[in-house]
Structures are given as C-alpha cells and as structure tokens.
C-alpha cells in the first residue's frame, strides 16, 4: 500500500467513514474513492458491481451501515437486519469477485453475547445469546465477520474485521430518536441548558458500564490494519476502560455546562449490564488508543456547537 493506492471508503459521509477519510488524507493518500448514497445504493448488488468495474479499487474499507441506538433498533428490526446484510454482502462479495486482496470490515462490540465473560474477547463470539435490544444489527454484523473469516480461510484474502466499542466524535448522529447514548446526552444536556437548565431525563438506572472510543482513534486503527500484516481475522478496537452510564452523564453534563437535575427513568431498559473490550490482541499487534474520554467529549461538544445549524436529524 502506498499513497497512490486506490482506496474505496464505503460510508465516507458517516461518522466513522469521514474520520477514516480525514485520517488517510492527513497521511497523504491521494486516490481515495467515495460515492454518496444518492449516487450509489449499496443495497443494490448490480449497482455495486458496476461501481467496482468503473472505479477499480485496490483496497476496500466497509464503514457503511444502518446504525442507531436502542430505540431505533427496537422500532426497525427488519431494516437493521436486512439492509445491513445487503450492504456488507454486496461490498465483500464485490471485493472478492474483483480479486481485491485487502479489505477492512467494521462492525461493533454488540456482536458479542450479552452475558459473555468480561472483558469481551474475540473468541467469545457465538458462545451465547445476544442482547435483545440490538440483536438485529448484531446478527448482520456477525454474518459479515464470518464472511471475512471464510474468505481468509478459503481464498487467503487479507481481509480483517475490526469491532470497535461505542464510538463518538465529529459527524455523529445527535437526533434524539435514533442516536447512541453519548451524542444523545450531549444534545439533551445542551438543549436543557439553553432552556434554562431544566431537568434532563435519561433511560434506565445509570448502572450499566460502557466503554467509549473517539472515532479518530478507530480511524487510526484502520490505517494501522491497512499498513501492517494482521495475524487474525478479528480484532477488538477500544480503550480497555469503561465507566458507568451515570458517570458518563455527569462528565457530559459538566462539559456542556448544564446545572439542572438528572432524572433516571427506571422503567426503560438498561441494555447489556457491561460491555468492556479486551483489546490485548490489537495492542499486541502494535496499536493502542490515544484520546481520553474527557478530552474527546470536550472536542466533540465543540464540534457540535460549531455545526449546530447544519446538524441533520436522521430519520429512519
């Protein structure tokens, strides 16, 4: 791989894809291939095949997916399962059919069983039942992981699956109906502050523990995986550290500057009790994170303020 390699980033307008694009550009890669969803429907197999024929990528990074939080997963199980299967099947199969030797498939820590031993290790995959609140998305991503594994095993493809923990950062989704927990908190605390520091309602008890990774760090992990020989097909990507949702709320509240009360709605689900990643496999390969949570939340809130007029509320 060199700066002239043709690298296709699927999902380049999303939070993860845009971070990967920024990272590659900052490192001098000049032949990045992108296409918006308006120009290329990744759910259409023939369109994807035609796109590969026209652009002839040498490396594929699959950062495209239909994503959302607990509420979105609950309300749209079919879309989260079927559309994600379509997207990844089309991209991975097109890469294989075009004899592309290097592919990075991005998923999520939700692929692991709800009650798997903590911290979550790569070999915990498929050892138990999934968390019901996001099983539709998880099942699709598990299928993608196994496709990568199968192509490595049968055709010796240099394909790698990276499973990040909970991500946040610039270009996140801040819509309160479809966003994940951290950007939703930023939005809620900001709106409550602007409304005179009114109380903020949050789901659950605040007791579950979660790990958070800045999206620029996962972009760095992607670049590392592209430029190194990776021994395994599956790697966890995270910090190896977690905090309770209540601690996260207090951190976000302090950074945003909201002085009101937090009201916990214990009638709403908590989700998985804990999701901490074992990141030793990727650390042993030579990569580790660099952005701590407080600095990451602060820079993300600054981005939110700078872009508040342009932030799109994604509707499913």
Q: Return the active site residues.
A: 137
231: which residues sit within 8 A by CB, 6+ positions away? 285
For residue 20, give the nearest of 100, 11, 283 by alpha carbon. 11
Does the annotation list 162 as a binding residue?
A: no
180: which residues sit within 8 A by CB, 6+ positions away? 67, 68, 69, 166, 167, 168, 172, 173
d(CA 138, CA 154): 24
Query: What is the token pair recorded at 163?
Result: 């499973």
Does the annotation list 17 as a binding residue?
A: yes
The strand ranges marked E within 48-198 are: 59-62, 102-106, 158-164, 166-168
Does the annotation list 203 as a binding residue?
A: yes
Helix (H), strand (E) counts: the chain: 10, 13
Does the annotation list 167 as a binding residue?
A: yes
Does the annotation list 166 as a binding residue?
A: yes
Q: Are 212 and 182 in contact (CB under 8 A)?
A: yes
Residue 185's Cβ-count burial label (10 Å; 0-12, 13-18, 19+) is buried
Does the annotation list 257 as a binding residue?
A: no
247: which residues sit within 8 A by CB, 6+ positions away? none
Does the annotation list 109 as a binding residue?
A: yes
Does the annotation list 270 as a binding residue?
A: yes
131: which residues sit within 8 A by CB, 6+ positions away? 110, 114, 138, 271, 272
Does the annotation list 26 as a binding residue?
A: no
Does the annotation list 164 as a binding residue?
A: yes
305: which residues sit within 8 A by CB, 6+ positions away? none
Does the annotation list 60 as a binding residue?
A: no
Binding site, annotated residues for NADP(+): 11-17, 106-109, 141, 164-167, 180
Binding site, annotated residues: 11-17, 106-109, 141, 164-167, 180, 188, 203, 210, 270
Binding site, annotated residues for substrate: 188, 203, 210, 270
């Amino acid at each position: 791989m060199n700066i002239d390699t043709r690298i296709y980033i699927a999902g380049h307008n999303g939070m993860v894809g845009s971070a990967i694009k920024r990272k590659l550009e900052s490192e001098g890669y000049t032949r990045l291939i992108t296409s918006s969803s308006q120009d290329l429907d990744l759910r259409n197999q023939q369109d994807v095949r035609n796109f590969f024929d026209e652009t002839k990528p040498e490396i594929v990074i699959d950062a495209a997916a239909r994503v959302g939080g607990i509420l979105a997963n609950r309300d749209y199980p079919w879309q989260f399962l079927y559309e994600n299967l379509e997207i990844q099947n089309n991209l991975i199969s097109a890469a294989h059919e075009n004899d592309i030797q290097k592919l990075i498939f991005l998923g999520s820590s939700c692929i692991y069983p709800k009650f798997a031993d903590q911290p979550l290790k790569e070999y915990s995959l498929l050892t138990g039942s999934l968390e019901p609140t996001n099983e539709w998305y998880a099942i699709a991503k598990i299928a993608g992981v196994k496709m990568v594994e199968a192509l490595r095993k049968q055709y010796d493809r240099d394909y790698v699956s990276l499973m990040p923990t909970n991500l946040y950062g610039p270009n996140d989704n801040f819509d309160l109906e479809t966003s994940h927990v951290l950007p939703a908190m930023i939005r809620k605390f900001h709106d409550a502050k602007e409304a005179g520091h009114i109380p903020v309602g949050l789901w659950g008890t605040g007791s579950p523990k979660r790990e958070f990774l800045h999206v620029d760090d996962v972009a760095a992990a992607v670049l590392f995986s592209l430029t190194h020989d990776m021994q395994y097909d599956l790697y966890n990507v995270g910090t190896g550290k977690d905090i309770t949702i209540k601690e996260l709320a207090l951190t976000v509240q302090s950074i945003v500057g909201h002085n009101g009360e937090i009201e916990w709605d214990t009638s709403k689900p908590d989700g998985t009790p804990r999701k901490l990643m074992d990141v030793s496999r990727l650390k042993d390969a030579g990569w580790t994170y660099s952005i701590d949570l407080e600095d990451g939340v602060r820079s993300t809130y600054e981005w939110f303020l700078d872009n508040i007029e342009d932030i799109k509320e994604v509707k499913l």
